[in-house]
A and B are shown apart, each in its own frame.
Chain A
Amino acid sequence: MEEKLLTRHFDLKNLYKIEVYLKEVGYQAVKRALKEMKPEEILEEVKNANLRGRGGAGFPAGVKWGFVPQDVDKPKYLCVNADEGEPGTFKDRYIMSHNPHLMIEGIIITCFCVGIHTAFIYIRGEYEAIALRLEQAISEAYKKGFLGKNILETGFDLDVFVHRGAGAYICGEETGLLESLEGKRGHPRLKPPFPASIGLFQCPTVINNVETISNIPQIILNGAEWFLKKGLPKDGGTRIFGVSGVVKNPGIYELPLGTNLKDIIFKYAGGMKEGKKLKAVFPGGMSAPILKADEINIKMDFDSLVEAESMLGSAAIIVIDEETSMLDVLKVVTRFYSHESCGQCTPCRIGNSWINKIIKRIAAGGGKRGDIDNIIRLASNMMGKTLCPLGDAAAMPILSITKKFRKEIESYTAN
């Protein structure tokens, strides 16, 4: 069995309570970072660890922190993106509900490194129980002196707040998240300026995913070199793969980056359910271009998937079997993006709705010759032309499904 970094202690009873966490793991990384390291040293370590963002885009966390200007007289903020809205993704909820203190440690170290004194955890509204657990964990951390004023008598102050979203996918997009956190509609912002310079309340802001932040304590305790060895040279550490769909053992699997997708499905997740045959896989959440059954002999890391014209995204693996109609898959995909498009920019607002209307018509038996070409044309007109990545996130699965399963979908349009 591969070594687990983030989910190692998940089996411990009541790990979410600070007494248990302190006994078993214990805020060692925070103590080390705050008492023995300088912020520059932490930044250097995180940069060297090649910790790439676990939210989906895979941007190196250390580089992102480095963009935050240090010579500003404005406050700086950390926003932990716990909106976990990508269909098929359920890894962050495990971290937050099983091991919230690991994430809090990550928050403290990140804030100490970047010089931040206020952090927000933006958690999706549906995670009510988890939000309560986080609140509980945070208040325990305050009581033990890991949060609040003069943390561990180092003079460092930090406050952490939990903010619950209202259930919009777009608020997981980092600038949509900022707008929502400011109390406005979750409409993404134009970039540049990037949040690192002008973010929450117009102040420099770091936005990291829950899993990304939760990797920080490991890096502090064991060093960058150790972390790189757990994954790939350009892509350090492990990934929590969430496997769902028609497999024997759906669930989360923490494995080194670069693990073969075929192994994840057939070795770790126990293979296909009895009597089911593999048809297709979304390798990184529903936004990732789909892979056909014969394309899954592939290493699961950012670069390998880009090479295969897909993406690692949130590492949520959705397994689809032969009995599932790809038209139904398309219906789910287009309904989701049409419903979740924020409506701010033209191609995403109208493109997604239009494609969804066509799919619904085909499903109702009204398909026409030319529909598939039209869908491909419309999705291409969204691709790369929207204000935020939601347009691409919608276009990619639509384009890949219609291209790779064209014959099957065409069979539904022929009357």
Chain B
Amino acid sequence: MTSLLTVEGLTKAYPGVVANDRVSFDIAEGEVHALLGENGAGKSTLVKMIYGLVQPDAGRMTLRGAPYAPPEPSAARAAGVAMVFQHFSLFDALDVAENIALGMETPPPMRRLAARIREVSETYGLPLNPDRLVGDLSAGERQRVEIIRCLLQDPRLLIMDEPTSVLTPQEVDILFATLRKLAAEGTAILYISHKLEEIRTLCDRATILRLGKVVDSCNPREKTAAELAEMMVGAKLTAPARGGGTPGDVVLEVSGLSLPSSTPFGTSLRDISFTVRAGEILGIGGVAGNGQDELLAALSGEAQVAPDAVNLKGQPIGALGPSPRRRIAVLAAPEERLGHAAAPDMSLTENALLTAAIREGLAARGFLKWPAARAFAEKVIEAFDVRTPGPGNAARSLSGGNLQKFVIGREVLQRPEVLVVNQPTWGVDASAAASIRQALLDLAQSGTAVIVISQDLDELMEISDRFAALNEGRLSPPRPAQGLTLEEIGLMMGGAHDMEVAHVAE
């Protein structure tokens, strides 16, 4: 195979951190090449340089033997490099055709483009209606828009950033079939992920990044997932320890919970019912955008619902706001750390006050007790090993993992009866993720009813006792997590929605 893209000594530094340190690797034509690394290993910076969004400080690239240094994404696209983003590249209020046109250099007139979209989407088994508003699409469909946008430009190199995080297992299989077909046609694919099994299934070669440096490369099919994980993290990982113990009485009962969406492109919750017992972890899976945020809001009290839709030990609490719920020990930690779970510009002390004022007695008759708030923040920092110079530092100055430990720790230390967390380890490095999962297991062990909403199925299988899936605002009946197959989980999540296997034979 001939080399398509060669990267030599690429370096990019940001204040206080070298994101990429002399990174070198190459991709052959028609190869599916994995870029493997933890959050913060420098994968994003590297592909942004290849796509022309960020300019390297040093190093060079060659594409098909010619020097390649795209000053901006349009130059990269002109050279045949396309990218499917994990976030941030679709426009909700525009329709599919307009979204696709925006990602092309010289789009054809709209009517011709719409016809092309239908044609290509059917060839690759990714049906799409060009006239629909993107805001109304599911996460999987939105990704199709991104992929079709790339395919319409006949790319030689397709970069995919964490593409499966928004797909059900069945949809992942279909995506992989599409990618294999593309590779067979000669398109190289740079596949970024931290999901090891996927890389073993799909990729021909893997380059492993750690702390901005290339630490290894291998044929992932010849390695076990554990070996790959060790290369990625640089240390042996121990799975969290689960205590035995049988669950106690039902603490939280949700029955017939419905909640119309409050935003134009949000998801409505429809007739959700489940129970959680003391000492039990209920895992709720599902692809992004199927009602996770809304469910958290209904459980935290940010969104009020019918009083008897949510019951704590038989008492209706659905109509209570966040503060009264905290008073009765129903606590929550939302997904978005900056701006929802924590105020970015406020200090950790102030952020401790944000949810702990009531249960920790940080205010008396409305007047704040700053020393007590500071002491509580310090307690969280201490107990959860949050790396920061002190509680006076702003939340946004912490790394994702450290802030997440603070956010989870802040709730755990308030002795909840019920704790609801959404995406507790999203964008968090492996060691922080492990300690957060352990903290949740320990909390359940001590008798708390825990609900973990997550899109990371491995995580849910690791820690939950029972599993349920959200799909378009509905919740599947929970089932014991042990013994569930990936196939079954995928079906609970809605299967392949309306995708179909690519016509590989043609």
A and B physically associate: no
Footprint of B on A, CB under 8 Å?
Answer: none
